[in-house]
Structure 1
C-alpha cells in the first residue's frame, strides 16, 4: 500500500505521523511510504533519515496526501480539506466532538477516518490516546508552574514551596491517565495535590499509588465549588471518549479564584471542562479572564516532539501496519480499530460522536 506522511501544519506542531523506525518496518513489509520534505524536522528526523529507512521524500503536501493511507498526528485543518479523497483511509487524532466543520467535511469527502483517540480495547482502555495523555498530564504541571511565575502573569507561587512557606495547591479534576500523571509530577515538585473524580474504584486505585500524599475526593458540584477557589493551579483532566467534555467549573467559580491563579484544561481537545476556557496555541498560550491565567493548548505534547513522536509510534505502529496490510479489512480482524472508525462511506458512524451531532444522520 502507498502511505503518505504530510508535514503537520497546526501551530507549532512538530510531531510527525511516522518516525523513521516505523517507516522501516512498513517498507520491510513491502509498503511504500511517501514523506513530505521536512515533515520530521521538528522532531529531530531529517529527510535523509527517512530515505535511509526506505521512504521517498516528496516536495509538496499534495504529493504526500495523494496516497491510499494517510498517517498524521493532528486533525486536518481547513487548508488541508481539499486533499481528502473518498478512496483514502485517514489515521490520526480527530476529536470530532469539538469540531462540527471538520466532521461535516470528512463525511462529505467520503474518506474513511479512524481516530486514534477512540481506538479502544475490550477492557475500555484507549491505547493510542494513553501515551499522549501521559505526556499532556506531565506537561500540564510543568507549564502550570511556569505560568504561575509573576513575569508570566501568575501569582508568583512556587508550587513546591520552601521551608517556612507553604507549597502551592494543585487541584486536578479527573483521575484518569492525564490526572494521574499530573499528580505524579505535582507531588514530585512538593505541591499540595487534590484529585477529584466521580469513580470511587479509580479513587481507591489512586490511593494505592499515592497514599496520603494526594487528597482524593469524590466529585460533586459542592466538592468542586469547595476545592477550586483556593487552587493555585487548576487542571482539567476530564475525558468522555468521543463526546464533548462536560462543563464542571463555571465562570462564577473561576471568578472566586485568587488573581494570578492558573487554569490548564487538557480536555480542550474535546471542548474543555472549564466554562471560561477556550483553545489557545503554543504561539499565544495564555489569556486572562476573571483575573485568572487560562491555558488551553490543544496540542500540548507538540512541545516535546522528539519524545512524543516516538511514544505515539510505539503505540500506533501495530495498527498502522494492519491497515497497510489489509486496508479496511483490518477492521474485521481487530475490534479496536472498529471502535476507532468515526467516518466511512459518507456516513458518521461512531456512536458517541453521533450523539454530539444527532442531525448528521447515519444515512447519507
Structure 2
C-alpha cells in the first residue's frame, strides 16, 4: 500500500491519534503529548498518526507511527477539522483574548486573534479560564479566607467520617470540599457571581465567603458560623482572633488574661481544643499548649520562676486557675 495513502487511512481510523510537533513534543488530538526517544530518528513530517507508544515515568515515547503532510490534512481530513471562536485568559498579556481556532479534537492547527465585544457569557468564560489557570491566587488577599473556610469544613467532614451516630448521619450532607474540588466545580460556586466582573480588581473584591456558603444550606451556614467563631473571648474580656491557618487553630494571648480559665477553650462543640500561645507582658511567646490544665499544674511553676524575675511588677500567682483575669500589672488590679 502507498505510504502516503496509509497515513490518511490511519488518520480516519484513529482521529484521536493525529499529532503535530510543538517544540520537542508532539501534541495529539486527544489532548495528550508524546515524543521520540533520543535513540530514535524523529519524523520530519508536518503531522503523524501515532499507532503505538510506550509510557514510563520518563515520558511517553513513540514506537510506531505513520506520516501525514499538511496538504493531506487540508485535502483529505477536512471532515475532522472544526473552526470556532474562543475566548480565554492570557497569562502572558494578563488580559482576556479572543481568537479563531482551527482544530482536530484538542489539536490546534491554526489560531488567529480577533477583536470582539465580549458578551456576558464570554466574560464568564474568561474568568473561569483565569481561575482554572491561576488557582486560588486569582482572588488575591481573599485566598486566605477561602483556605480558612475549607479548613473549617474539613473539621466537620472529618468528624462525620469518624462517628456513626444518628446525628452525624444527618450531617453527611455537608459537601466534602477541597481546593481541587473548587477548581473542578467553579460553575457551581463561582459562575453565578461573575455577571458584572470586568477586571481583576473586581474579581478579587468578590465576597468569597458568600460565594462558598452558597454550597451550604442556611442551617449549615449558621452552624459553621457558630461552631467556628472568628474570635475567642478570654476571661479578661479580650477578643483574640483565632488563626485557622494553623493546625490546630491557634490564639495568642498574654498569660495573665487566661487566669481563671481552668482548661483549654475549645471550638466546634468542644471537639477541637484551641492551641494557646501564651505571651509575656512584653507580648513575647512563653509557651504553646493545647492542654491549659496541664500547663497550670506543671509547666507554669517553672514559667513563674523565670518570668517573676524578669517582670516583678506583674502578677504571677500560685493558683492561676482561680486568679482574677485581667491586667498584667499588680497595681492595675482591684484589691481583694
The TM-score bracket by the shorter chain reads: under 0.3
Larger Rg: 2
More strand by share: 2
TM-score by length of 2: 0.21
Q: Which has the higher contact order (CA 8 A, sep 6+)?
A: 1
